[in-house]
Amino acid sequence: MTVIVGLRYLAVSGGFALLTRARFPGLYAGLDPQIRREIGWSLASAFIYGAPAGLLAWGWQEHGWTRVYTNVSEYPLWWLPGSVLVYLLLHDAWFYWTHRWMHRPTPFRIAHAVHHASRPPTAWAAMSFHPWEALTGAVVIPALVLAIPIHVAALGVVLTVMTVMGVTNHMGWEMFPRRLVQGRAGDWLITASHHQRHHQQYGCNYGLYFRFWDRLCGTDRGLGTFRRADGAGTGPVRAADRAGVAG
């Protein structure tokens, strides 16, 4: 499972990094030493994520430890999308509060500073965590599969969303259209534009998938700005637009 998690990280982060370099060749200019650190920390995190996943995969197959099921008829069909939403909501709540706690002085200095050493973050930074922080992220999905039933395919959807959003929220440009990001959906869903503000100001925008915890707790500071696609610094531009039209 550690190998699977590591290869998944390399494939998804590498794919979006290649896409970034193809669309905006200068966006990661001068960041090669940082990217090497991000990859190193991320592969260490892959071991921490993979260990409990492997244990539970074995326990599921051999002893039925988890609530993961394979027969669609075991639960109503509406539970297939319902379970995905429940898992994402609970994961988002866990992430918000542990992430906010990580910004207290001591845990930030000990662990979370590793993630924020990515300035600006890149597609390789999604799993760039100190081992203590990786541990807080590695326990949540295993805990959920022990407690809440989910079809194996629905679990695959959850893991896919978790992986893709983790990468795209850090890659330094906005892949989603303006009408989504700045529309009603963007008021509640987190994309790179929202998470970018967190990496700029630190003390805000702690959520992972949804903005409502930030809104409820007064930590939502709106959308951030991106490094210019030509590598010329920072500014109020959307890297999703090659021409650098103001966002």
How much is the pLDDT for 61?
Answer: 84
pLDDT tens per residue across all 247 residues of the chain: 899 999 999 999 999 999 999 999 999 999 999 999 999 999 999 999 999 888 888 888 888 899 999 999 999 999 999 999 999 999 999 999 999 999 999 999 999 999 999 999 999 999 999 999 999 999 999 999 999 999 999 999 999 999 999 999 999 999 999 999 999 999 999 999 999 999 999 999 999 999 999 999 999 999 999 876 554 444 333 433 332 222 2
How much is the pLDDT for 246?
Answer: 27
How much is the pLDDT for 229?
Answer: 53
pTM, two decimals, is 0.89
Alpha helices in the chain (DSSP H): 2-23, 32-63, 79-102, 105-107, 113-116, 131-138, 140-147, 152-168, 178-181, 192-201, 212-217
**Residues with Cβ < 8 Å from 104, sequence gap 6 or more?**
none
Residue linked to tokens 């244990």:
55
How much is the pLDDT for 194?
Answer: 96
Rounded-to-integer distance, Cα 207 and Cα 209, Å: 6
